[in-house]
A and B are shown apart, each in its own frame.
Chain A
Amino acid sequence: MRYFYLLLTVLLFACDPQWRNDSRFMAYAPIYVSKEEANQIGAEAAKPTVLPGKIYAYGNYLFQVEQNHGIHIIDNSNPQQAHKISFLNVPAASELAVKSGFLYTNNLDDLVVFDISDINSPRLVNRVENAFPQISQEYPPLNGAYFECVDPSKGVVVGWEEKLIENPKCRR
């Protein structure tokens, strides 16, 4: 009998979670940006970094993408006291580069240009629509992964997060 319990214990631990009542498991969920959100663009007060993205150095300034949300602008003229000046809200931003006082980034699939010659008041000066249609992401980053199916009515998928999902239906 003792061996039976032992065997039972082993069998219980061997169970795949899907065999139990809990049908949730780690899978990918799409991160959406709606078209309405996508248009809210411009400088805001500095705020904490949540999901740090790409970095860029230009003169006395540093820039760091807040993944899918915008760009932190940092004064680095004295590195000992480097500090955030502001946050440039650019929904779905993931990239940036700077030349001669102009900052290039992506707002969803558009290329947008900010005049940052006055770093305290960046101004949106230009937009090239649909420059990067492929930045939208139809699939999670890994092949073979389960994911929550995309609902286009919620907006454009700008990224994927991994979390516990109830019975994800899609798989790539």
Chain B
Amino acid sequence: MKILNAEDKPTIMRKLLPIIAIFFLFGCDKSSSSDSSAYATGGGKGGSLARFTVVGDYLYTVDKQTLKVFDIADPSKPSLKRSVDAGFEIETIFPFKDKLFLGSTSVVYIFSIDDPSNPQKLSEAISPTVMRRCDPVVAKDNVAYSTLRTNGPCGGTTSVLAVYDITDIKNPVQKNAMPVGEPYGLGYSDTTLYVCDRRYGISVYNISKPYSPVFIKGVTTSSFPNFIDVIAYNTILICWTSTGIILYDISVPQNPTLIKQIS
């Protein structure tokens, strides 16, 4: 008996399942499209599947049940300030304004970092019935985009790109849902949304009307690698693929053009 379909589960993905990526994006204006206040203090920019994140003078990490806070005011000497019992099966961490969003296999935990050394659990606000597990999310002002994937252990019946009104972060309201192939991480630049659609490449959407994304095109390379996550970084789109890294020029955000493959 074959337990799993090997072709459908390339090695690179195995460790990633199940995934919840919370990828909140910041601000609407062009100038802030690549960086946010969270990164303005000497930090870099990670993808939507990270377990480490730097906010100000603190490094936050998640490992299954624990959120750890390291003081890195002296960046060469991290000192563990606190270990917080966060929940279960935590997979990802992402900062959004003064909050940390921890994605687990079943729910999204929200922590306040008003006091950055002492995160306080606010809620398990985004429940699995609204944004289910394995759902990467990006948010822009009052809108969140989430890809709901159905393969692997994540459940569900159709893979969709869903759009939520998050004016009340504790009570997201679904506004729209459109079918996609097999989505993983996602990212955004200005009014363009990039969704990694694994073997289908990157799906590019116009989000000028935030609640009504318009599919523009799919982008991939001749070798058809699997696309897993993206970082929109200034005018470059950095893609994590099954072959390594692929860089696209996004000076014109809706028209990514291949620059370089690094494998």
Contact = CB atoms under 8 A, between A and B. Distances in A.
Interface of A: 16-18, 25-27, 48-49, 51-59, 62, 64, 67, 72, 74, 76, 79-84, 94-102, 104, 111, 113, 115, 125-126, 128, 131-135, 141-143, 145-146, 159-162
Interface in B47-91: 47, 49-54, 59, 61, 63-66, 68, 70, 72, 75-78, 80
A54 B260 CA distance: 18
B216 interface: no
Contacts of B20: none
Contacts of B260: 79-82
A34 to B, nearest CB: 20
B249 interface: yes
Given A72-B262, A104-B52, 18 more contacts: A26-B3, A51-B11, A54-B46, A56-B46, A56-B47, A67-B12, A74-B262, A79-B249, A97-B50, A98-B44, A99-B44, A99-B59, A100-B75, A102-B72, A113-B76, A141-B153, A142-B153, A162-B6
A52 to B, nearest CB: 5
Contacts of A81: 260
Range of interface residues on chain B? 35 or more
Contact of B241 (A52, A84, A102): A52
Main secondary structure of the interface of A (DSSP, over half): strand
Contact of B50 (A48, A95, A145, A159): A95
A74 B240 CA distance: 13
Contacts of A83: 262
Interface of B: 1-4, 6, 9, 11-12, 14-15, 17-18, 41-47, 49-54, 59, 61, 63-66, 68, 70, 72, 75-78, 80, 152-153, 229, 231, 233, 236, 238, 240-245, 247, 249, 259-260, 262-263
B15 A52 contact: no
A125 B263 contact: no
Nearest to A82: B260
A10 B180 CA distance: 37
Contacts of A113: 75-78
Contacts of B233: 57
A52 B242 contact: yes
Contacts of A51: 11-12
The 4 closest A-B pairs by CB, nearest first: A58-B44, A100-B42, A49-B244, A97-B52
Contacts of A25: 1-3
B238 A57 contact: yes
14 contacts: A18-B1, A27-B3, A53-B12, A54-B50, A55-B229, A72-B244, A79-B259, A82-B260, A97-B43, A98-B43, A98-B44, A131-B68, A132-B68, A161-B11
